[in-house]
Structure 1
Amino acid sequence: MESVYEAAGGSEGLVRLARAWHARVMADDVVSHAFSHGFHPQHSERLAAYWAEALGGPADYSTRYGDETSVVRMHSGNGPHEEMDRRAIACFDQALDDLGVREPVRQVLHDYFAWAATTTMARYPESADEVPDGLAIPRWSWDGLQR
């Protein structure tokens, strides 16, 4: 059985998805605030590499850019942001629609993104200093979070 990564189109498919999501986010009045301080010029490519690793693809993110701790710290210390999370998920779903992503991979990608946005990326709202060292990128499959 192919991985979610493969079903999503591999690296190229996830780069397209990351770009489509980022375009949707930047057009959203609430979610775009998260990028008001600026962002890395290769944000979409890095995001796609992170998603790839989480979804069963190569460990390029961990090898080149950092571990889960570094990702979670980037998303921590900004207080609770449920509305932003909800809208980021809506932007993700719109990006899936924009690209014509079909079932069953569409639902799995939605579930992964919604889970990540509302759990790991929202776990430390008070301070990035609370994020423990050495976290590994969680793995997601057709059956959800892999333990």
Structure 2
Amino acid sequence: MSDGTPGTPSIFEWMGGQAALDRLTEVFYGHVHKDPVLAPVFAGAPAEHPHHVAVWLAEVFGGPADYTASHGGHDHMAARHLGRGITEEQRRRWIALLMDSADEVGLAEDPEFRAVFAYYIEWGTRMALLYSGPNPPPVEGTGSHVPQWGWNQTPPWQPKP
């Protein structure tokens, strides 16, 4: 997805495609597993977890819809967070480590890209907090549509009553 301007790459393309996201999540989860705040949360995560997160992020930022095709889209991602009881401290630490990892792997540093990237990470972690909490919104039937982030736009989110 681009902003509709001919020749404007999607966020996915701008950041370097799937290879860049795989590199980002490998470095990031390497840090997560050593972090005293986050390591317990991800102690039982399978070895392919970093790649699954990279595939999710690819779809979010306008890349191929492989997460939806292989894992069930938004419903699946939301369900992965149910009952996990993520804390605000863990959410903030996740963001800090991911942003540091983006610097470490050399993702684009221009303000426009980083603003879109940071906006999604902030929004996404708040959704994870919501779904992991005591009164999550319904997951089943919310649709498999993965939210898409692009230049100058974000998707509206409306919880089901």
Residue equivalent to 2:78: 72
> Shift of residue 85 of structure 1?
0.1
Query: Which portions of structure 1, spanning 4 or more consecutive aligned residues, are displaced by more than 6 angstroms?
Result: none
Residue equivalent to 2:15: 8
> Shift of residue 80 of structure 1?
5.0
Number of matched pairs? 145
Change (3 A) 1:111 1:129: closer
Q: Percentage identity across aligned positions?
A: 30
> Shift of residue 61 of structure 1?
0.7
Contiguous gaps of at least 5 residues in structure 1: none
- 1:111 is the counterpart of 2:115: no
- Give the conservation status (yes or no) of the 8 Å contact 1:25–1:31: yes
Contiguous gaps of at least 5 residues in structure 2: 1-7, 157-161
For residues 36 and 153 of structure 2, what CA distance do their matches in structure 1 show?
31
- TM-score of the superposition, structure 2-length normalised? 0.82
Q: Give CA-to-partner distance per residue, 1:65-114, whole Å, 9 cap, x none.
A: 22211111111212351000000000011101101221132332122112
1:123 to 116, 120, 130: 130
How big is the alpha-carbon RMSD for the aligned residues of Structure 1 and Structure 2? Answer: 1.8
For residues 151 and 89 of structure 2, what CA distance do their matches in structure 1 show?
27
Pairwise mapping of residues 1-147 of structure 1 onto structure 2 (< 5 A)?
A: 1-36=8-43, 38-101=44-107, 102-103=109-110, 104-118=112-126, 120-124=127-131, 125-126=133-134, 130-135=138-143, 136-147=145-156
Q: Which protein has the larger Cα radius of gyration, Structure 1 or Structure 2? A: 2
- TM-score of the superposition, structure 1-length normalised? 0.89
